[in-house]
Structure 1
Amino acid sequence: MSDFKLAQPTAKDDQTQPLLTHEKSLSQKIGHGSEAGDILDQQLVMLGFQLITQLNTLIKTSKIHGRANAALDKPVETMLTLIQTLAHDQPVTLRLQNDFLFLGESHLKVNAQQMAVIGSIIDSLNKWKIGGLTFGSVVTSKDLREFAYLFVSMDPATKSVDDFRQELKTRDVNGIDLEDPRELELHEDLSAGSDSGKPGETSTDTKVQHKIQSKNAYAKAASAVGGLEKSVRDGGTVNFKQAKRAIQNIVDLMMQDEATLLGLTTLRCHDQYTHNHSVNVSLLSIALANRTGYPKVALADLGLAALFHDMGKSTIPLEVLNKPGEFSDEEWVAMRNHPTEGVLSLAELRGITNLPARMAAASFEHHMNLDYSGYPKLKTPWKLSLTGRILMIADCYDAMTSSRVYRREPMSPSKVLNIMFGKSGKSFDATLLKLFVNCVGIVPIGSLVMLNTDELAVVLRPAVERADAERPLVKVIADPEGNLMDSGPELDLTVKDISGDYRHSIVRLIDNTEHQFDTSRYFV
């Protein structure tokens, strides 16, 4: 890591001065949008997501209350306003295709905070085998209430979409149309070759399918963490089956395409920090353990342990856990006790017998540090487990690259790796830390980089060969003038031209957190 030459340039370097000016231009364009059309598209996407959110609220509320209940007033009223705005010229359609949601023909890319709502709507539409919902400007409050009532009262296991349409017609519901499912034709075999038949390449449709499966696995794991945390707080019975299935699925997907799953760890959301952090640590731990030679069954056990490593925080009052300011001495004591409380909480849960050693170690050791400078403090000798040493690295990396309630601004992945390498052999196992860099890349996944062509790019995956560590696969996201591109090319920086020179190279890393540019949009 110390040999990495992509250091930040100084103003004294005459050759880098034009790039510094260019970077400022990029910052302005990234922050404010380069075209009026881009701003309009962003507004439409925002309104589309608000429509989905209100639809989700309407459906959930309708399960509890009757269609005439006042509890439905707010979501119905908000939906009507959104529909009138979006369907001013033509009806607005929310379309589901291969577990991706579209507003009309535009793919709605979501962030970590939005994933739970999107997932809920996708699951609901899939149960009904509905491919899309179209709302016209003629829709009324009565129409929305009747639709929601039928959606939750009819049984999709015994009724078809045609039955649903007929009921809407019988009840004189206007302005709401149901579409049949539309699916991309995807290869079932994730290891299939590309359309061109070149060995080692993956076809576009296979990539899409793997991305869908990875996103779903991530969402289900996050849901499992949320459910378990709630059970701990409420003292209820815990069901680990969902979590186990999600982790087993993640391990299978990780063995086929590690980079796609690790790309999802770029999802950053301080409001959902606990859940997303737990899944991210699980993904990073599985990837690192795979590099150390863990067998597949052991990877699943480690992933499950990592998923619940922070369960001790469920014993801390939410007002303390979500406190934006400094902790008091008593609150710090509670926070530092969460590793021990996590072991006790997991051991006492109804629904788990004989607490696995890896799960106990994940909770107890993940803040200890290799030199025992962390917590909890022990008076007797203690030998750190391999699980604990893996978790220390994964937990620290994700925590430092994430925004928190008390620290809204995260740190860039490259900066975090530099800090962690400064503590190699002290806080972190030196060998494991080197293997971890092989996972995320010496130019880490999600990093923002400037190319020698003055184009801006996002790192999608590390280079395959260690000798090419500084030449990852990137996606171009902005042209030399700083204009953002929706469909920029993916570039393999190891490719050379006919003269033997590299076609593209990284000039320098750009701190995406400094420019407040979220690169996670390119991984969902």
Structure 2
Amino acid sequence: MDDHRTPSQPDPAENPALQPILIHDKSLPGKIGEGSEARDVLDQQILVLGAQLVNQLHILLKTIRIHERTNAAVNQVVDATVTTVKTLARDNPVVIRLQNDFLYLGDAHLKMGPQQVAIFLEFIDSLNARGIAAISFSAEMRETDLREFAYQFISVDPATCTFDDLKRQLKEGEIHGIDIEEATSLMVRVGQKNKQLKNLAKQLYVKAVGAVGEVLQSIREGRAPNFRRAKRVVQSIVDVILQDEPTLLGLTTLRCYDEYTHNHSVNVSLLSVALGNRAGYPREALVDLGLAALFHDLGKASIPQDILNKSEEFTDEDWAKLRIHATLGVINLIRLRGLTNLPGRMAAAAFEHHLNYDLSGYPTLSMPWEVSLTGRILMVADCYDSMTSSRVYRRDPIAPNKVLTMMFAKSGILYDPVLLKLFVNCVGIIPIGCLTLLDSHELAVVIRPSANRQTATRPYVKLISDRSGRPIEGPEVDLAEKDADGRFKRSVVRLVDNTEYRFDTGRYFA
């Protein structure tokens, strides 16, 4: 008899998440010292298993929607998932935690590869919809517990049921070894630590601008530049972004057209690292990406200063000279680092950031070309910052929300559509730096996206005027916060074009 499978039914021969997993020696964690190379390998294996657990839970929830609880397809996924849990939860419960739209295994950030992006995002959406901040699994969990949990999870209608409803159903179902933790609508912040991070972020931004200036000046003067200082700064930037992404992204709203090239290079680096983090880059790769993005415009060191600083509209001849900077960037890098020592990401960032997703940009190519992931990330970050920035020849930038609209109109043409969607998760549907009018008649600046994808249009804002329009240094508020009657305390009525009124929202991030 033919094996007729529905498209949604998992096939063990085709689904890696259901294949036998690599199970490490369960006594190893107690034998291997912290900080050793062997421990690093073990930690990486555990994170791989954590990502596999997310994949398995995703498949289980989809499978149990279309089959009875005792169906063979459900049993197969349950067995594989229980094996993963018991591998990870030998000494302590394994916790899949959601924070600011990122998934963590305990305190370790789970990276997603390109093939896992859709799975992770859908799983995150399912947690957000039910108000779940974490799911913990202990070694005492049985197959029947997991099967019943999955059934109760999908049977709850997020539109009509609350977290407490799901919690009560799990208790009534006598499910053992699985627990859920409720998400809070308040941003998890430790005051002093947050203040220290903000101060550190500003220091790193200034140091990065200085590092770019030093390297470009060295090249103009024919001296060998020192990239070591820049790399140390980028390493610190990556560490801050992994802790508090919006704090550093807020600094990209600082606009200085007199130092456009330097500020722009730093902004593109910050935006690229944030996007690379969303795309699943590990820390070491994020450092390489950030450094490559920091010097993506290295070719401009070979462009005459009278063109770079020209305040009038560019002529066709000016544009022709400027557009060779992508090629000059690679030439400068080869001259500085040597062909054999040239990092691939640096070459890609310099050469590809103006190519466009469909290769319609520049440099013009006469051969087939597959744009690297680095190049596609740079295309998004470079364009967004360029259009939202003041330039020497265009003092009035475009409002961030308008820029996103324009970019989405060219999705799949100028920009990688998947990366563009991930980028919106970084800056927000109502982007960081936007000026908003609230229904309370207060003006507010967006300082970070919502931590919950279900309330993506309700970011965190800083109040800058009271109800009568008087300027104030107001508090930061969560627009997803509700009153005792379950109604939102504040809502965005409309976006105010701060560029039209020449209002610099960057001052609130300085």
How many angstroms does 1:352 deviate by? Answer: 9.5
Contact 1:366 1:395 in 2 (8 A): yes
Letter in structure 2 aligned against 1:493? L
Q: Deviations over 1:198-220 (max 9, x none)?
A: 99622222121101100111111
Q: Which runs of 5+ in 2 are unaligned?
A: 1-184
Q: What is the 5 A alignment of 1:61-76? A: none
Structure 2 counterpart of 1:301, from 281, 288, 311: 288
Residue 515 in structure 1 maps to residue 504 in structure 2: no
- Contact kept in structure 1, 2:358 and 2:414, CA below 8 Å: yes
Q: How does 1:447-486 map to 2 (within 5 A)?
A: 447-486=434-473
1:31-55: CA deviations, max 9, x gaps?
xxxxxxxxxxxxxxxxxxxxxxxxx
Match of 2:252 among 254, 260, 265: 265
Residue matched to 1:63: none
The aligned counterpart of 1:435 is 422
Equivalent position of 1:421 in the other structure: 408
The corresponding residue for 2:232 is 245
Check whether the contact 2:437–2:495 (CA below 8 A) recurs between aligned residues.
Answer: yes
Q: How does 1:26-45 map to 2 (within 5 A)?
A: none
Which secondary structure does the structure 2 equivalent of 1:509 belong to? Answer: strand
The 2-side partners of 1:363 and 1:303 are apart by: 13
Alpha-carbon distance in structure 2 between the residues aligned to 1:334 and 1:396: 19
Q: TM-score, normalised by structure 1?
A: 0.61
Q: What does the per-residue CA deviation read over 1:379-424, in whole Å, with 9 as the maximum and x for residues that have no partner?
A: 1000000000000000000000000011000011001000000000
Residue of structure 1 in register with 2:44 after alignment: none
What is the correspondence of 1:3-42 to structure 2 with a 5 Å cutoff? none
8 Å contact kept, 2:186–2:481: no
For residue 504 of structure 1, what is the aligned residue in structure 2?
A: 490
Which digits, 9 at most, give the CA deviation of each residue in 1:433-457, with x for residues without a partner?
0000000000000100011100000
2:198 matches 1:211: yes
* 2:313 matches 1:326: yes
Residue matched to 1:317 = 304
Equivalent residues of 1:237, 1:350 under 8 A apart: no
Alpha-carbon distance, 1:520 to partner? 1.0
Matched, 1:410 2:397: yes
Structure 2 residue 393 is matched with structure 1 residue 393: no
Shift of 1:320: 1.1
Change beyond 3 A, Cα 1:490–1:326: closer
SS in 2 for 1:226: helix
| Aligned partner letter, 1:442 | I
Change (3 A) 1:456 1:233: same
State the alpha-carbon separation in 2 of the partners of residues 322 and 485 from structure 1.
Answer: 37
The alignment partner of 2:464 has SS state of strand
Confirm or deny: 8 A CA contact 2:444 2:464 kept in the other structure: yes
Summarize the alignment of residues 137-156 of structure 1 with structure 2, pairs less than 5 Å apart.
Answer: none
Is the partner of 2:265 in helix, strand or coil?
A: helix
2:77 — aligned with what? none
Shift of 1:330: 3.1
- Indicate if the aligned counterparts of 1:239 and 1:351 stay in contact, CA closer than 8 A: no
User: What is the CA distance between 1:497 and its match in structure 2?
Assistant: 1.0
Same amino acid, percent of matched pairs: 60
Alignment-derived partner of residue 112 in structure 1? none
**Distance in 2 between the 1:352 and 1:370 partners?**
26
Q: Which residue of 2 aligns with 1:492?
A: 478
Tell me the SS of whatever aligns to 1:458. strand
Cα distance, 1:351 vs. partner? 9.0
What TM-score do you get using the length of structure 2 for normalisation? 0.63
* 1:356 pairs with 2:343: yes
Assess if the C-alpha contact under 8 Å between 1:238 and 1:350 holds in 2: no
- Structure 1: 5+ residue stretches without partners: 1-197
Q: CA deviation at 1:521?
A: 1.2
Q: Which has the higher contact order (CA 8 A, sep 6+)?
A: 1
> Per the alignment, in what secondary structure is the counterpart of residue 491 of structure 1?
strand
Over the residues paired in the alignment, what is the CA RMSD in angstroms?
1.6
Q: Matched residue of 1:508: which SS?
A: strand
* Closer/same/farther in 2, CA of residues 203 and 330 from structure 1, 3 Å limit: same
| Shift in CA distance, 352/379, structure 1 to aligned 2, threshold 3 Å | closer
Q: Deviations over 1:60-85 (max 9, x none)?
A: xxxxxxxxxxxxxxxxxxxxxxxxxx
Pairing partner for 1:339 from 306, 326, 330: 326
* Amino acid of the structure 1 residue aligned with 2:284: V
2:463 is paired with a residue whose SS is: strand
Preserved CA contact (<8 Å) 2:449 2:459: yes
- Provide the residue aligned with 1:157 in structure 2: none
Q: Distance in 1 between matches of 2:200 and 2:376?
A: 29
Distance 1:489 1:333 in 2: 48
- In 2, the alpha carbon distance for the partners of 1:268 and 1:289 equals 23
Query: Cα distance 1:404–1:298, how it changes in 2: closer, same or farther (>3 A)?
Result: same
Conserved in 1, the CA contact under 8 Å of 2:186 and 2:478? no
